[in-house]
Amino acid sequence: MKDSGVVAVDVQLSRNNGVTWETIANNITSNSYDWLVTPDSTSAGIIRVKDSYVPTRSDQSDATFAIYPGCCMAGRGNIDCSLDGAADIGDLTILVDHLFINFVPLCCSREADLDDNGSIDIGDLTLIVDHLFITFLQLDSCY
């Protein structure tokens, strides 16, 4: 909640713990602002709110926060929903665990449905093994 002496604020985001900043919104006069989270993912996010007219007056989040890649927002294969968004050996491990060992639920089943046939099965396992080790086949995007 902004102080009554503050007319408007700018909201900024850093994805690298304050090294660089991007402006999310300018001249917000209300006490809240809804922001639709955008890529890139980060483990070092900070939000800063500055007085639009007296930029030396500002405050920021006390601790960093993470922005995770969305569920199947880009390419498939990030089965473990890792922050880097990458399809790698960790994702293969999760898929094997899901299919054969502990049957762990998946954080985003669409990431694991590599052949887009609506089920997670051995066909998807074949594709990620192919992607990682054999033909390095490009995985389809989610859309």
Residues in touch with Ca ion (CB under 5 A): 78, 80, 82, 91, 113, 115, 117, 124
Q: What share of the chain is helix, strand, coil (3-state, %, to 5)?
A: 20, 20, 55
Distance (Å, whole) CA 63 – CA 60: 9
Q: Closest CB to Ca ion belongs to which residue?
A: 82
Min CB(22)–Ca ion separation in Å: 25
Distance (Å, whole) CA 65 – CA 139: 29
Nearer Cβ to Ca ion (8/96): 96
Residue 66 CA from chain centroid, whole number: 8
Min CB(72)–Ca ion separation in Å: 12
Nearer Cβ to Ca ion (47/107): 107
